[in-house]
Structure 1
Amino acid sequence: METDKLYYKNQYEVEFEAVVRKSEQDNAGHYVVLNQTAFYPTGGGQPYDTGTLNNIRVFNVEEVEGEIRHYVEMPIELNVKCIGEVDWNRRFDHMQQHTGQHILSAAFDNELGLKTVSFHLGKEICSIDLATDHVTEEELLKIEEIANQVILENYPIESKWVTEEELRNYSLRKSVSVSENIRLVIIPDFDYNGCGGTHPDSTGQVSTIKLLHSEKQKQLVRVFFISGKRVRKQLQEKHQVIQRLTALLSVPQEQMEEATSRILLQGKELEKTISDLKTKLTEYEANQLIEQGEQNNSNIMVKHIYQNRPISELQNLARMISQKTSNIVVLFINETDNKLQLVCARGNDLEMSMNQLVKQILPIINGRGGGSDTIAQGGGEKLIPTERLMEEMVSEILS
């Protein structure tokens, strides 16, 4: 197939001439089909190429129903001659990552007998899923060493088209998924694999491979890695972060972990201290409110209006007051910029229901809420003055 041969075999071809044979639109946008192309469509775990056709941006390339659709920012007329240009930086990055995957997959298979189940070429990081539930750190370091030795020795990378019958002449890492137009990518004496992706001419052009980390994925292990220019980019980014952290922590890089652990421990201790102090402040506030409470027959009523107080704090305060005094009723209202919130609680000796109280009051402010017989809360719109809402709550208690 002429189109396939162009973008597979001339993978260093970034500029080409073509003619528009189809110009239509689908759900993904306007697209054109060319008589030949150097653009690689999404496939085999490798993303599509981008670039331009007559200086019109190509933002996606997909193979749909046997045709390669170039999605463009604006329509191009039928039979127009085009100068196509592939974004080489993106293409070469994909070549490095994809070949890095071939090398790693072969190393895992050859050294540990672990098969690669899937491959993902991400914008920043790549990953492969291995058919195992455990890989040690020592094994990962060994595979990384083997992969970079393959790069250092600069093996040639060959690609060839073969028939189904010719496959028996090669020791393939995995079976191919097609029976026609079979393309093999070969690193002699190391990896033989059916693949339609783009790859450089030699392993040395991958430059380097770095395994980042691994994680368990159900019955698989996912290994994250980067190749080529991405290694330098990540190194630079991480170095800049470390430089900023060394300045912030005032420690050299080798002491950063210890310093960070110390700061985290201090933070936890401070959080506990703050929590204890908040509890003491709440208890002090609760005692003050109880002392200021209004006597009503043999019961005590505590009522207070707050401004922009966290509702969780008012719930804790109301609960503490009701636990300290068994014959007490607590009525709190919190006023914010656009709503009114209320918290109601009672001591254990009283038989009234706080849940019933808030459900009777909340319709006045078009509110919602609820709770239990001992404590309830809710909120609604500022339809009446706050003082009026408090009067309604007191009246309901006394009725």
Structure 2
Amino acid sequence: MLKERVYYADPYCKLFTAQIIKAAQDAEGNHYVVLDNTAFYPTGGGQPHDTGTLNGIQVLNVEEVEDEIRHTLAESLGSATEVEGAIDWKRRFDHMQQHAGQHILSAAFVELFGYPTVSFHLGKEIVSIDLNMEDVSPEQLDTVEKLANDIILENRLIEIKWITEDELHHYPLRKQLAVTDEIRLVIIPDFDYNGCGGTHPSTTGQVSVLKILSTEKHRGKVRVHFVCGGRVLQQLQRKNQVLAETSRLLSAPDDGVAVAVQKLLETNHSLEKSLSDTQEALLAFEAQALLKQQENGVVKALFTDRTVQQLQKLARLLVTESDEVIVLLVAESDNRLQFVAARGASVETSMKQVASATLPLINGKGGGNDAFVQGGGERLVSAEELLTVMEDSCDEN
């Protein structure tokens, strides 16, 4: 029976002895054993498996497969028929804190706003629940977090009850159950009644504290990220280190970091605008210089490490300044060639024929219209050869 499993009968059990009833290898060749009973919790219900050792050999995974709990090991136990198991208690208790905290948080959302939890994930650093809602306000989050921590501070009992389906009507369950036999309820009296197969501490006080970190929209629902117990201290330490380093870099006190960052952003925005204005002015000067070098109504130029966006801007400036020129620009970088071809308003030559002649040479892709085309591809020819082909294609008109 489920309730006789050690991890259910005594979730605080750290050491145990059991008999090996099966030793085998899975399809990937990993050694595993099945025991007559176990304190190792198998992955399930949003909670990860326990880790630890059997006869000193590392337990890598625990999962229930075909009604048997398989303990995947780092190596074979050899001819052993009995094992001494040791649970990684730090990991187990962390999972107990997070899972109980999830029950409290989910119940608080229902209690205050009627928002049900539809999924739960216990990650290595962050825990999350998905609420069947499209949005949750910051004020609601604050209210829920306060209620959850009040319940934790009250150090209420967390009761475990095994009941039958016929007894379900005696309990105001938070959500409908998916099982109908060996039903296990986790109960925080007068607050939460929930069917659950995970491990939990015996009182809410052992959760210690709960902190909501952030929310995000996920597939039409709200995902709430939070941590409990020791993970709150980990998050606080990490954020304090980041704040201290940021404070040092900005030469600002901790409580002045936000103001310093705002000033830095404003300065950065001003510099970006100044740089953009300068680049535009340089392009205008460059356009004038290129126009003076035109030959037979064609402005052509080669560049290194120019983006296609920069080529486009320069070409548009050139055809704006003179409606009688054809502009042919090529840029090379690493193993790539890019080009732009444009014509002034008084020119009839279609730039599409430039693209048609050019793209096959570089296994490229591009697009545009009769007045303006651009493209890019592999450097299968030199930039000079590509520019020559572009110019020759204009003469074919």
Fold match by TM threshold 0.5: yes
Q: 1:71 to 1:326 in 2, by over 3 A?
A: same
Distance 1:308 1:133 in 2: 46
Residue of structure 1 in register with 2:323 after alignment: 326
Residue of structure 2 in register with 1:176 after alignment: 177
Distance 1:311 1:60 in 2: 52
Distance 1:310 1:136 in 2: 43
- Measured against aligned partners, the alpha-carbon deviations of 1:75-115 in whole angstroms (never above 9, x if no partner) come to 45687433322221111100000111122223333344433
The answer as to whether partners of 2:357 and 2:389 remain within 8 angstroms in 1 is no
Task: Indicate the percent of aligned positions where both proteins have the same amino acid.
Answer: 50
Distance 1:366 1:212 in 2: 49
* Aligned with 1:312 (options 275, 300, 309): 309
Distance 1:181 1:191 in 2: 19
TM-score, normalised by the number of residues in structure 1: 0.89
Residue of structure 2 in register with 1:125 after alignment: 126
Structure 1 residue 391, shift from structure 2 partner: 3.5
Instruction: Look up the SS of the partner of 2:84 in the other structure.
Output: strand
Unpaired segments ≥5 residues, structure 2: none
The answer as to whether partners of 2:52 and 2:58 remain within 8 angstroms in 1 is yes
Residue of structure 1 in register with 2:300 after alignment: 303
The answer as to whether partners of 2:353 and 2:394 remain within 8 angstroms in 1 is no
Structure 1 residue 218, shift from structure 2 partner: 5.7
Q: 1:218 to 1:363 in 2, by over 3 A?
A: closer
The answer as to whether partners of 2:357 and 2:390 remain within 8 angstroms in 1 is no
Q: In the alignment, is residue 147 of structure 1 matched against residue 148 of structure 2?
A: yes
Q: 1:229 to 1:28 in 2, by over 3 A?
A: farther
- State the superposition RMSD in angstroms: 2.6
Distance 1:355 1:96 in 2: 66
Structure 1 residue 307, shift from structure 2 partner: 2.5
Higher deviation after alignment, 119-128 or 365-374: 365-374
Distance 2:379 2:139 in 1: 64
Structure 1 residue 364, shift from structure 2 partner: 4.2
Distance 2:29 2:179 in 1: 27
The answer as to whether partners of 1:30 and 1:73 remain within 8 angstroms in 2 is yes
* Aligned with 1:341 (options 338, 343, 357): 338
One-letter amino acid of the structure 1 residue matched with residue 7 of structure 2: Y
- Measured against aligned partners, the alpha-carbon deviations of 1:138-182 in whole angstroms (never above 9, x if no partner) come to 333233222222222222222232222333333333343222212
Structure 1 residue 240, shift from structure 2 partner: 1.2
Residue of structure 1 in register with 2:167 after alignment: 166
The answer as to whether partners of 1:20 and 1:78 remain within 8 angstroms in 2 is no
Report the number of matched residues: 395
The answer as to whether partners of 2:325 and 2:343 remain within 8 angstroms in 1 is yes
TM-score, normalised by the number of residues in structure 2: 0.89
The answer as to whether partners of 1:212 and 1:224 remain within 8 angstroms in 2 is yes
One-letter amino acid of the structure 2 residue matched with residue 15 of structure 1: L
Distance 2:140 2:392 in 1: 75
One-letter amino acid of the structure 2 residue matched with residue 163 of structure 1: T
One-letter amino acid of the structure 1 residue matched with residue 54 of structure 2: L
Residue of structure 1 in register with 2:262 after alignment: 261
Matches within 5 A, 1:1-399: 1=1, 5-18=5-18, 19-26=20-27, 30-76=31-77, 80-217=81-218, 220-294=221-295, 296=296, 300-399=297-396
Instruction: Look up the SS of the partner of 1:26 in the other structure.
Output: coil
Unpaired segments ≥5 residues, structure 1: none
